Copies of this chain bind each other. A is one copy, B any other.
Amino acid sequence: MTDTPPQTRIQARNRAAILEAALEVFAARGFRGATLDRIAQAAGLSKPNLLYYFRSKEALHLAILQDLLELWLAPLRAMDPEGEPRAQIMGYVRKKLEMSRDHPRESRLFANEILQGAPRARPVLEGELKALVDEKAAVISGWSAAGRIGPVDPHHLIFSIWALTQHYADFEVQVRAIMGDTDPYPGAEAWLERVFGAILDIPHHGP
């Protein structure tokens, strides 16, 4: 995804260390709150050496964002128009929840970007993302029209999936503050199963 592919061992190792460190720091503090000093230190490099690998703070952030967007869109891309509707949607929900659990920093970095008006990601949002969402929304509409799932607004359905799953990563501090030491994810998984089960249910009429 990044344009300059690592070539030597050292390059590969350092680039990876930087990306990892930068993800950590950008996610926790936002673009402005992050300092190259802190990222360099976390990566075990000097600041100028970090800039030897990435031209600027901006470029580093962009590199992460691009990798991230690929990761982010993949599960929605994987939704199969030929598959069983309920399974496809529930699979997407489950995958997104897993990503919140396993990649919370990516989720928060993305949330930070959007929250601040998507100064860097906007083109992708209005381009690739919109196209992909429209495409999948059409698929869902088809399923709904065919009576294979209940009547849904496909766009809002997708927003709901995003909101409900990412919430556990983005608002983790709040979730933990309320749930104490309990791991929220098992409960969340069951709950979302229940929620989307209810949403997708085909309404039946009284006897």
Residue of B nearest to A137 (CB): B178
Contact (Cβ within 8 A) A33 B116: yes
Give the size of the chain A interface in residues (CB under 8 angstroms): 53
A2–B197 Cα gap in the complex (Å)? 45
Residue of B nearest to A118 (CB): B173
Q: Check: A195 CB closer than 8 A to any chain B CB.
A: yes
A188–B153 Cα gap in the complex (Å)? 9
Contact (Cβ within 8 A) B156 A191: yes
Given contacts A122-B177, A198-B198, contact A116 B28 (CB under 8 A): yes
Contact (Cβ within 8 A) A173 B114: yes
Residue of B nearest to A111 (CB): B115
A110–B105 Cα gap in the complex (Å)? 18
Task: Determine how close the nearest CB of chain B comes to the CB of A117; give it in whole angstroms.
Answer: 6
Q: Check: A5 CB closer than 8 A to any chain B CB.
A: no
Point out the residue from B114, B157, B177 that lies within 8 Å of A126, measured CB to CB: B177
24 contacts between A and B (CB under 8 A): A28-B117, A30-B115, A111-B115, A112-B115, A114-B170, A115-B115, A117-B173, A118-B177, A122-B173, A126-B177, A129-B177, A129-B178, A133-B178, A150-B198, A159-B167, A159-B168, A159-B171, A159-B175, A160-B167, A163-B163, A163-B166, A164-B164, A195-B195, A198-B201
